[in-house]
Chain A
Amino acid sequence: MPLDAYTDLADDALLAQYSKGDAAAARALTARLTPRVFGHAVRVLGDRSEAEDVAQDAMMRLWKVAPDWRMGEAKVSTWLYRVTANLCTDRLRRKRGVGLDEVDEPHDPSPSVTDQLQTRERMDALQAGLQTLPERQRQAVILRHIEGLANPEIAEILEISTEAVESLTARGKRALAQALAPAREKLGYEDDSI
């Protein structure tokens, strides 16, 4: 099957191909799902190295469950986000007390140095603000506002009701806005048309 054909396949169909021994399906699934899993982990944990461990572990669980996956029963990405969220929770429980100064920030290779610095400062501020939120609020805010998932899917991932998701995201967003308010002018994101 040509590689382009894989872009139209659903995640579970790709997983079925993977289980049949199709190496291209393995690469397509990795390219599609790993950035999402890693992005979520790095925002929740604030540490690239730990996020890599979590993402690799989550993807490994997907490879292992692939032969037993039942087509059409569950959404692969939802399942994977849930595994990632749980792995992040486990990590955060183990390393309580790590200060914001120890948070490892991602690097941004954007072209303009000024833009790069400002973008980095904003992302650092956002990451620092996210770290002040309780873990469940943080996960819900990241899934809703950065990953762009719908509330019912977030409810499935976090294994709570949709109403609880709405409450978590609303409280999380308010808390985050308060945490970032002092730095808003300094970071200069209020007058940008992004």
Chain B
Amino acid sequence: MTVSDKGTVDPDMNALDALFAQATNDVGARPSEAFMTRVVTDALAQQPMPQITPPSLWAQITAMVGGWQGMGGLVAATCAGFWIGINPPEGLPTQFETFLGSETSISLLEDGIKDTGMFGFGWDMEEG
């Protein structure tokens, strides 16, 4: 409701306010569907193309081994192999044993050299 400067209700202004309210919702001032389609067509024609960036080297490697799942399996297998290498389980021949083809070892210190009296380089030899 519009009130004039003198504090009285102005019927002309109130009628106009009502008319404005009706005009705000007037469907006659809305664009047609065909026009809206034209604007969308313009928009799509003017639209910058989506920027396609090539995948990084890391992304290419992970994709090569089957994505993150493949990469996870690869890391797990590597860790397991490394652990078995430094701490082989019982019964599994070591690399040294495999190389020699035998599990027999010779202890020179205990049986041979010590008994010959040549061990110790004279620290325990008596003088005179």
A: residues with CB less than 8 A from B are: 18-23, 26-27, 29-31, 34-35, 38-39, 42-43, 52, 55-56, 59-60, 63-64, 66-67, 105-110, 119-120, 122-123, 125-126, 145-148, 173, 176-178, 180-181, 184, 189-190, 192, 194
Is there contact, CB below 8 Å, between A63 and B47?
Answer: yes
Is there contact, CB below 8 Å, between B19 and A23?
Answer: no
Whether A122 touches B22, Cβ cut-off 8 Å, given contacts A21-B51, A30-B39, A52-B31, is yes
Is there contact, CB below 8 Å, between A56 and B15?
Answer: no
For the complex formed, measure the closest distance between the CB of B74 and the CB atoms of chain A, giving whole angstroms.
34
Is there contact, CB below 8 Å, between A35 and B30?
Answer: yes
A190 contact from B11, B26, B29, B51, Cβ within 8 A: B11
Whether A126 touches B23, Cβ cut-off 8 Å, given contacts A39-B30, A67-B48, A190-B11, is yes
For the complex formed, measure the closest distance between the CB of B20 and the CB atoms of chain A, giving whole angstroms.
4
For the complex formed, measure the closest distance between the CB of B109 and the CB atoms of chain A, giving whole angstroms.
76
For the complex formed, measure the closest distance between the CB of B8 and the CB atoms of chain A, giving whole angstroms.
14
In Å, the complex CA distance between A104 and B32 comes to 15
Q: Is B12 in the interface zone, CB < 8 Å from A?
A: yes
Chain B residues, CB < 8 A from A18: 43, 47
Chain B residues, CB < 8 A from A38: 29-31, 35
Is there contact, CB below 8 Å, between B12 and A177?
Answer: yes
A-B pairs with beta carbons under 8 Å apart, 11 shown: A34-B35, A39-B29, A59-B42, A105-B28, A108-B28, A122-B19, A146-B20, A146-B23, A176-B16, A189-B19, A194-B21
Whether A55 touches B50, Cβ cut-off 8 Å, given contacts A123-B22, A190-B15, is no
Is there contact, CB below 8 Å, between A184 and B15?
Answer: yes
For the complex formed, measure the closest distance between the CB of B43 and the CB atoms of chain A, giving whole angstroms.
4
Chain A residues, CB < 8 A from B108: none
Q: Is B84 in the interface zone, CB < 8 Å from A?
A: no
Whether A56 touches B42, Cβ cut-off 8 Å, given contacts A145-B20, A190-B15, is yes
In Å, the complex CA distance between A126 and B16 comes to 9
Is there contact, CB below 8 Å, between B48 and A123?
Answer: no
Whether A108 touches B26, Cβ cut-off 8 Å, given contacts A26-B47, A35-B31, is yes
In Å, the complex CA distance between A173 and B51 comes to 51
Q: Is B6 in the interface zone, CB < 8 Å from A?
A: no
In Å, the complex CA distance between A120 and B26 comes to 9
For the complex formed, measure the closest distance between the CB of B10 and the CB atoms of chain A, giving whole angstroms.
8
For the complex formed, measure the closest distance between the CB of A150 and the CB atoms of chain B, giving whole angstroms.
15
Is there contact, CB below 8 Å, between A123 and B35?
Answer: no
Chain B residues, CB < 8 A from A64: 46
